Every structure is written in structure tokens, then in C-alpha cells.
Amino acid sequence: MIQIGEKYLGDIYLREYFPKVPKPSSNAVLFLHGYPGSQKNYDLAEELALKGFRCFVMHYRGAWKSKGQYSLYGNLKDSEMVLEHIQSEGYKKENINLIGASWGGFMAVMLLVRHTSLRKIILLAPFINLSSHPEAFEKGVDFLASITKPSIQNYERQALASDLKRLLEEYNPLPKLSGINGAKVLIIHGANDTICPIKYSMELKSMFQTPAFLVKLEDQDHFLHTRELLFEQCSKFLR
């Protein structure tokens, strides 16, 4: 049995899943959703809570149940705020895991290079290809702008492009991965993903000091619909 709670940290909505009988030795899991987010991974959070993990599912400021104005640049500040809250609940960084889906995968990698003592990181079909090449960059902005509404309001293409460029210039984590142990990183990616092609995860795997683990799911697209297999892979890795 598990319990589910809801709260707000300022404007940020936070949904919690935890065992009905808390286990003092358990670890925490922070979930970081994609842009603008079609998969909240509530089912995965519930499954891991049944295994003894305390799970926190946040909504970035301005998305879904969270208040305020959404921005890609603000996602990092929101994630840091929730990570700090989890520590205030009694969890050391060494006992906190991250699960990032799509754009949330990029957020998870950003947090990892800023907090290298985090326990383990799972990236679900991560958005990694942040190209500085003007043509590729504009193509990426066009795609994100095309899926912004109606999920995200009052966030126009110009602001989106500005935020993405600022993140790329100030916080691009990829050059720093060579100093991080890839054994704490699991990447799960669908072979048929056309939104975030698996080739970028294959490149990401080798960017770490030691290679990360990569699970290729055949016949799966960006949204990883075979949930039972996903549950099994995540639970096994976090144990």
C-alpha cells in the first residue's frame, strides 16, 4: 500500500508517493517531465513507491497544476528548488535519484553535473541534441514552438528561443560529463523514436568517464508505451 500527497512549493505543484509504512533506509526519486509534457509518469512513481521508494513528481512553473509563467530557463531553478526541498525532508544527495523524460532528461543531466553526488539517474528518451549550429537550432525551436500550446500559455517562440540559447551558453552540461561515472546513469530509449532519435542517446552513453547503461526498446517510440518493461528496468537499476 502507498499514500499519495499533494502540496505547493510556492508556485510549484508537487505530488508525492510514499510507502504507507515508511522505510528509513529507502531512497527518494525526483521525476522531471518533458516539454511541455504529455507523460507525467505517475504510474512509474506509484510502481517505485510500492518498491519502497519515496517519489516526488513536480510540475515546472507554469505547466499543468503549477502556477506562474513557464520558461525553459526557469525549469532549472524549479528543479533545484524541489531538490532542496527533498533534502529538507531528510534525504542526503547520496540517497536521491532522478528520472527525467525527454526534455526532463536534459534537466536531469544538468542537475547531475551540478550535484555529482546524486545516487542514480535514469533518462527516458532524453532530449540531448542541443546544437549550436544556427540551422539546427532554429529547427529545434520550431518544433518546440509547434507543441507549446495549448499546454503552455503566454510563451511565444521568441522567448522560447532566447531561453534555449541562454541555457546552451550558460549551462550546457555535455562537456562536463567526462568527469562523471556513467555507472550511475541508465538511458532507456525507443528504437523508433522520431522526436528524440536514439542515435543521440548512443552518443551520450560514451560521453561519461565510464560508459552509461543504454537499454534499447525495440518497436517503441518516444513515449515508451510498454510500461511493464519500463517498470522492470527502472526498478532493477535503482535497487
Q: How far apart are the first and last CA of the chain?
A: 19
| % of the chain residues with pLDDT over 70 | 95
Q: How far is CA 179 from CA 173, 175, 206, 208, 211, in A?
A: 11, 9, 12, 7, 11
pLDDT, residue 156, reads 93
pLDDT, residue 235, reads 95
Candidates 102, 91, 29; CA nearest to 63 is: 102
The C-alpha angle 218, 219, 222, rounded to 5 degrees, equals 95
Query: At 135, is the secondary structure helix, strand, or coil?
Result: helix
Residue 61: band (very low, low, confident or very high) from pLDDT cuts 50, 70, 90: very high
Side chain identity at residue 164, one-letter code = L
Query: At 58, is the secondary structure helix, strand, or coil?
Result: strand
Position 140 pLDDT exceeds 90: no
| Secondary structure (DSSP) of 170-209 | HH--GGGGGGSBGGGEEEEEETT-SSS-HHHHHHHHTTSS
Mean per-residue pLDDT for 167-191?
94
* Domain spanning 2-129+174-238, CATH architecture: 3-Layer(aba) Sandwich (3.40)
β-sheet bridge partners, residue 9: 12
pLDDT, residue 38, reads 64
Per-residue model confidence as pLDDT tens digits over 83-127: 999 999 999 999 999 999 999 999 999 999 999 999 999 999 998
Side chain identity at residue 182, one-letter code = G
Side chain identity at residue 152, one-letter code = I
The pTM assigned to this predicted structure is: 0.94
Domain ranges of the chain: 2-129+174-238
β-sheet bridge partners, residue 98: 30, 121
- More confidently predicted of 24 and 143: 143
Sign for the CA dihedral angle at 202, 207, 211, 213 comes to: negative
H or E, element range at 107: helix 103-114
Place of cell 528518451: 125
pLDDT, residue 161, reads 92
157-171 and 72-88 helices cross at what angle (nearest 10)?
Answer: 60
